[in-house]
Amino acid sequence: MPAVTASAPGKIILFGEHAVVYGQPAIAVPVTQVQARCTVVAIPTAPAGRVEIDAPDIGLKSTLEELSPAHPLALPLHLVREQLGIPAFPACRLRITSTIPIASGLGSGAAVSVAVARAVSAFLGHPLSDEQVSGIAFRVDQTHHGTPSGIDNTVITYNQPIYFVRGEPFERLTLHHPFWMVIGNSGIASPTLTVVEEVRQRYQSSPSSIEPILLAIGEIVRQARAILASDSLEPLGALLTENHQRLQELGVSCPELDHLVNAALQNGALGAKLSGGGRGGNMIALVEEGQAARVADALRRAGAVSTLITRVG
């Protein structure tokens, strides 16, 4: 069996996080500069069923058997085996690496699941379809993130901009114009599960104060979709900033993210917002190509631990 490698990109949510959990649309795009990668090689000398996993980025070296079945690196393997209906794996070694920052809203978990599911199924000679791979990444996310909307696994599996409504077939977005974003990492690790749960509690205790915010975010996303398909990207920046304000009202921002958003706006960004679960993780800023380096510098001066400049579309 020849060695097989598969990789999957990171992602950012451009518009609509949190509201997407409640049925509103959201727009997400892949970020291809950062990738999760999985390589599978056979170990001809080892007994059948022995699967070694080496994930140096998180200091993990183990066998599949030693990991709990729900472990984020073990679960995609069990789900592939289940999906293909095979009783055991041939002896093999997986090397899993990723340049996607963990717990920062760039989809590292879903990207690792996608890379593992693709590499292992191809290694076994039965590459899974995109739909199956996305389904596996979704089930892993469900185990670790409670009630994910499904946007992460979808944008990462299909590796293209998407307009996503929970429970509906997603729409591939064709962007009329490419544009540039700067991503600033606050350096604060923030589990999405906790923030989503807090929003749920607020929603349950006071639906009449939360519902209008969710509806307003949905409206922003619909306007953004129309702009992305149009000739002029001009109004997109204002929509990003408006989306950030709605997320502040929802209670999912934090002083550090607000500070980064302001720093981007004061240094030439056309618009900026937090991206993903919030309370930490990343923020994003829409920039003219020539302004990207200036905004990235300003973000680092304002406390971002790292920045990424990415071309979308």
The beta strand positions in the chain, using DSSP E, are: 4-15, 26-42, 51-55, 60-63, 92-98, 162-164, 171-172, 179-185, 271-275, 282-287, 306-312
**Would you call 78 helix, strand, or coil by DSSP?**
helix
Round the CA-based radius of gyration of the chain to a whole number and report it.
20
- Minimal distance in Å, beta carbon 61 to ligand PMV? 27
Minimum CB distance to ligand PMV smaller for 18 or for 37: 18
- Minimal distance in Å, beta carbon 173 to ligand PMV? 17
Restricting to residues 35-94, name those near ligand PMV by CB under 6 A.
none
Neighbour-count burial of 198, counting CB atoms closer than 10 A to its CB (0-12 exposed, 13-18 middle, 19+ buried) = middle
Find tokens 């190509």 and name the residue: 289
- Minimal distance in Å, beta carbon 18 to ligand PMV? 5
CA 160, chain centre distance (Å)? 12
- Whether 258 is catalytic is no
Helices 75-84 and 130-145, interaxial angle, to 10°? Answer: 140
| Residue 242 binds ligand PMV (CB under 6 A) | no
| Residue in 196, 233, 239, 304 binding ligand PMV, rule: CB under 6 A | 196
In the set 57, 130, 141, 152, the catalytic residue is: 152
| Residue in 25, 90, 276, 280 binding ligand PMV, rule: CB under 6 A | 276
| Residue 184 binds ligand PMV (CB under 6 A) | no
- Looking at residue 175, the DSSP 8-state letter turns out to be P
Beta bridge partners of 93: 41, 52
Q: Could you tell me which stretch among 13-21, 236-244, 266-274, 304-312 binds ligand PMV (CB under 6 A)?
A: 13-21
| Residue in 277, 284, 295, 302 binding ligand PMV, rule: CB under 6 A | 277
Minimum CB distance to ligand PMV smaller for 90 or for 148: 148
- Minimal distance in Å, beta carbon 275 to ligand PMV? 7
H-run or E-run covering 131: helix 130-145
| Residue 213 binds ligand PMV (CB under 6 A) | no
| Residue in 151, 263, 284, 295 binding ligand PMV, rule: CB under 6 A | 151
Write out the two tokens for 229: 């398909």
| Residue in 98, 121, 132, 149 binding ligand PMV, rule: CB under 6 A | 149
- Minimal distance in Å, beta carbon 119 to ligand PMV? 22
Q: Which residues contact 23 (CB under 8 A, 6 or more apart)?
A: 165, 166, 167
Q: Report the catalytic residues.
A: 152
Binding site for ligand PMV (CB under 6 A): 13, 17-18, 20-21, 105, 107, 148-149, 151-152, 192, 196, 276-277
